[in-house]
Amino acid sequence: MASAAKAQTGFTVGANISNLYVDDVDDENAKVGLNIGIYNRIKITNFLGIQHEFLYAQKGAALQYDNFLSGSGTYKYNLNYIKMPVMLSANLGKLNLHAGPYVGFLAGVKIKDVDGDGSINSIQELDRDDFNTLDYGGVAGLGYDFDGGILGVRYNYGFREIGKSGSFAGEATSEAKNSALTVYIGFHF
């Protein structure tokens, strides 16, 4: 079996369409962020493989506001992670199904206030210590292999609340967990 192992390493770039998952999640609060990094795919057999990645992933949510004093706009909650998924993949010709766990480390948190016309009013960096710096969850997706790369889509679901209990962030994000749909393209080195 060890002699059948073949590795592919590459660079991946894509977009996260993310939200903070709570009981009454609203898809209108989705936010788009960057997902970029490197991957390594190890083909164990013609059917099975392992793919692990090292990524910079922007997650979060957007909240619309419209009031008399401030006008209209959006608060964008930006959670920036260093993320490492490890997935088992089933190869079906050019298609592959992949699923497994991920772990992420919170690098920074910002809130951006954007006017209805797209102008940025302010960017406020939040105290990272008010958030759980470790995030973990599961990923599952579908990929299409082409000569020299991969095109794919996957869903990421966090199992851990983003805010620490007892902190302002913990109260403001009570029970909120990361949720993201990732669309990506990767190129082999």
Reported as a single tens digit per residue, the pLDDT across 140-152 is: 999 999 999 999 9
Residue 187 to residues 34, 41, 84, 90: CA-CA distances in angstroms? 17, 12, 18, 19
Backbone angles phi, psi at 44, to 5 degrees: -85, -50
- Which pLDDT score, from 0 to 100, does residue 3 have? 45
pLDDT band at 63 (very low <50, low <70, confident <90, very high): confident
pLDDT at residue 58 above 80?
Answer: yes
- Cα separation of 63 and 19, whole Å? 10
Please state the pTM of the whole predicted model: 0.84
Reported as a single tens digit per residue, the pLDDT across 68-97 is: 666 778 888 899 999 999 999 999 999 999
Give one DSSP letter per residue of 72-115, joined into a string: EEEEEEEEEEEEEEEEEEEEETTEEEEEEEEEEEEEEEEEEEEE
- Cα separation of 94 and 8, whole Å? 15
- Cα separation of 178 and 171, whole Å? 16
Ranges 28-32, 40-44, 45-49, 163-167: which has the least confidence: 163-167
- Cα separation of 38 and 67, whole Å? 43
Sign of CA dihedral 24, 83, 13, 93: negative
Number of C-alpha atoms within 13 angstroms, CB side, residue 8? 18
Q: How many CB atoms lie within 10 A of CB 118?
A: 8
Query: Which residues does residue 82 pair with via DSSP β-bridges, in sequence order?
Result: 56, 105
Ranges 20-29, 83-92, 110-119: which has the least confidence: 20-29
pLDDT at residue 179 above 70?
Answer: yes
